[in-house]
Amino acid sequence: MAIRPATILPFLKGTRPYALYVLVVLMLVFTLNQNDRFLLGATGDAVVKALHFGDFSCTTNKTNVSSSGSCDSSCAKLKTRSDCEESEDAVDCVWDHTPLGLKYELLAGPLFTFIFTLVTIPIGILASSRWVNRRITLALSVVLWSGMTLATGFTRQYWQFLLTRIGLGLFEAVCTPFAASIISDYFQEVITTYIFFLP
């Protein structure tokens, strides 16, 4: 069941404008968090080719000017390196790394998820304690995970990429518990529930 704005508006009547500003800033931080997390999925093909990891497969040669989308399926049908290089479409096909295989799958899924989940529990406990400055901690985590994202762009080897993904998982784990804790400081308990479950 979707939450209607009319249901939320009565609870927002007594809300200070600064609280709404905080909510918008946290929404932007959370959006940045999600974008950084899934960036590998959007750039996987370029990453595996640049760092030379992942499974090999016969794919379309994107650097060849004569390549067109029509040969994508014919290249994919070729299962061995010799078939790929000796085919009639050899000029349009290339035997190269693809975003498949254990090394890529570890980076894209289980490794990040494991680190993120493992760290979120103690971070959540830390976020609920009153002796931690949540705004500074959250701001610092945004700087650190953005630094990890930037560092990812400069990696030249698989192990470097692996370390930046681990760092990304560590620092992004701070976002949700600290943002939830900050939101609960500015909004009534009833409206906080609505905010967390907005579609």
Higher-confidence position of 51 and 197: 51
The verdict on pTM exceeding 0.85 is no
Model pLDDT for residues 58-112, shown as the tens digit of each residue: 777 776 645 455 555 677 777 777 777 776 655 677 777 777 778 878 877 788 8
Mean pLDDT score, 172-188: 85
Helix spans in the chain (H): 5-12, 17-37, 39-51, 72-76, 81-86, 102-108, 110-128, 134-153, 158-172, 175-186, 189-196
Whether 121 has a pLDDT exceeding 80, the answer reads yes
Quote the pLDDT of residue 193.
57
Residues 131-179: tens digit of each pLDDT? 889 999 999 999 999 999 899 889 888 889 889 989 988 999 998 889 8
